[in-house]
Amino acid sequence: VNLTDYLATMPIAEASTKPAEEQQSQQPNPKLDRYSWLIRPCSIYKEELRVCRSRAYRRHHEFVYGTPPDCSQWAVDYDNCLQQNDDRPAFEALVLSEMRRRHARLRAMTGNDVWQYRDQPPAEWNSPLPSGAAEASTVDRLTLTGADEALYSSFEQYGVLGPMSIGARMSQCTLL
Amino acid sequence: MPSERQPSSASTAADESSASKSAPSSEDYGYSVFPKRDPGADYKAPARFIGFRAWRHNRCLKNVLDCSMTDPFIRYLIVAIRSRGCSFTLSRNVSCERCRFSFSGGYDPMRKQVAVCENEFWAKPGICSVLRHELIHAFDDCRAVMFKGADEEAKEPNESLDRLACTEIRAASLNHCMLGAAKMEGYTGMFNYAGQHQHCVKSKALMSVLAARQISRPEGEAAIERVFDRCYADLEPFGRIPASLKSFRSIAIALSLTALGTAIQFRRLANGPEMLLPVPLPVPRPLPDA
């Protein structure tokens, strides 16, 4: 039973699973240096841990999966992140953990063989609409009010998640 | 006040000229809901006082823009669609229009447009919810082949139904079946909510699939069961099932607690056998024999 087959049994895409036989080699593995970009800022792991331990997330996780969440991986990742510059095994463990998460998520996506994924975006995506009165009125009104420019300038100004109202405590990682 | 037909979205497409006449079945892929997209339709809307429709249309457009600027889920989905290579603009890809029946919106894969119905909802929570739902369909259409054309769809009806069911399952699980919303709409109880997310997702996906295609309920349920495991696990672009932080504000359909609202809740609770039996834990799939 290899890691991929074990991961196939996991219903959660964000889970990170350690293999049964974990080999901690004494020598540092140089191949992991080029994957250091996988490591996120340490505040992200701390925030994930806080969200994972919160009561609302616990209820949500029980609602979805039936069992309480296991936040130990985030705690391990946070500790490793704090020590990644001093401790080479911590860095490697963190990189491997991120690779497992990425693998689980991509596996969930590629395992969906209900449809065929495209190589290119559809060619007819930008084809002009048939010139009818209905579409024309909507198009004219939105272009006249400059909705598209407003939307794209708001992406540049506020970023992806948009302006948050005062007092809204939305985690950065709720959507990632 | 929502009418008796549950508001849902229709994920549809059809070849207007030939499919409705030459196909053996009367499948129109839900285009009859949107009279502006079905040129053969002869639909007279009920009369309203002068100026109301214009005001409603303007309010729908304003709320579409408000939701796109404010709602983080919608913004994330728009960025995800654009990062896949499909340009998403409000003027080309979103359309506010009047629909038939009590639908809330739909996605038109022929014209690549999200059709927001301004009949039932034109206030911001409803529009935001509809946009989130349809943007998942647009995202799936951008990254995978969803609809091949009426002729090819008629050749392989099961696969096309599977693709539709997959999209609806993803839209229901990523947008709608959050704990507070499920409680308000009667998909789960107040305390016995463990593992009820799947029940909510399947119910909502079934309603949407039955609204989009003219099939019977057992066929829809079979299609959803076929694709559920694969599509429930596919959580793109979010990577996880989002939890609502302010659950009562993110209610998808703004049911006020009137008598009709409570009756719907109790009827659903009575219909669902999951509420009466203890909820089993999810059974892990057996490992393949090494």
CB-nearest to A174 from B69, B86, B242 is B242
Whether residue A90 contacts residue A83, with contact meaning beta carbons closer than 8 Å, is answered with yes
Residue A144: pLDDT over 90: no
pLDDT at A83: 96
Beta bridge partners of B113: B108
Catalytic site residue from B27, B134, B185, B274: B134
Cβ of B91 within 8 Å of Cβ of A126? The answer is no
- Nearest chain A residue to B188 by CA distance is A63
Find all residues with CB under 8 Å of B159, minimum gap 6, and list them. Answer: none
Average pLDDT, chain B: 74
The reply to whether B134 belongs to the active site is yes
Euclidean distance between CA atoms B221 and B102, whole angstroms: 22
B39 versus B131: the higher-pLDDT residue is B131
Euclidean distance between CA atoms B18 and B150, whole angstroms: 9
CB of A117 within 8 Å of a chain B CB? The answer is yes
Mean pLDDT of A12-29: 59
What is the per-residue pLDDT across B239-289, written as a single tens digit (0 to 9) for each? 889 887 554 443 433 444 444 444 444 444 444 433 333 334 344 555 555
A114 pLDDT band (50/70/90 cuts)? Answer: very high
What 8-state DSSP symbol labels residue B57?
H
Query: Cis peptide leading into A163, omega within 30 of 0?
Result: no
Nearest Cα to Cα of residue A74 among A95, A48, A40, A96: A48
Provide the ipTM: 0.79
Least confident piece of the model among A74-83, A115-124, B82-91, B180-189: B180-189
Cβ of B179 within 8 Å of Cβ of A60? The answer is yes
3-state helix, strand, coil in chain B (%, to 5): 50, 5, 45
What 8-state DSSP symbol labels residue A128?
P
Euclidean distance between CA atoms B207 and B5, whole angstroms: 10
A133 pLDDT band (50/70/90 cuts)? Answer: low
How many beta-carbon contacts under 8 Å exist across A and B?
A: 187
Residue A79: pLDDT over 90: yes
Whether residue B38 contacts residue B13, with contact meaning beta carbons closer than 8 Å, is answered with no
What is the per-residue pLDDT across B48-64, written as a single tens digit (0 to 9) for each? 676 777 888 888 888 99
Q: Where are the domains of chain B?
A: 26-149, 154-255
Give the count of beta carbons closer than 10 Å to the beta carbon of residue A38: 15
- Nearest chain B residue to A63 by CA distance is B194
Chain A residues whose beta carbon lies within 8 Å of the beta carbon of residue B145: 115-116, 118
- Nearest chain B residue to A153 by CA distance is B69
Find all residues with CB under 8 Å of B144, minimum gap 6, and list them. Answer: A115, A116, A117, A118, B163
Euclidean distance between CA atoms A46 and A75, whole angstroms: 8
B178 versus A170: the higher-pLDDT residue is B178
CB of A8 within 8 Å of a chain B CB? The answer is yes
Chain A residues whose beta carbon lies within 8 Å of the beta carbon of residue B147: none
pLDDT at B11: 41
Distance between B90 CA and the closest CA of chain A, angstroms: 6
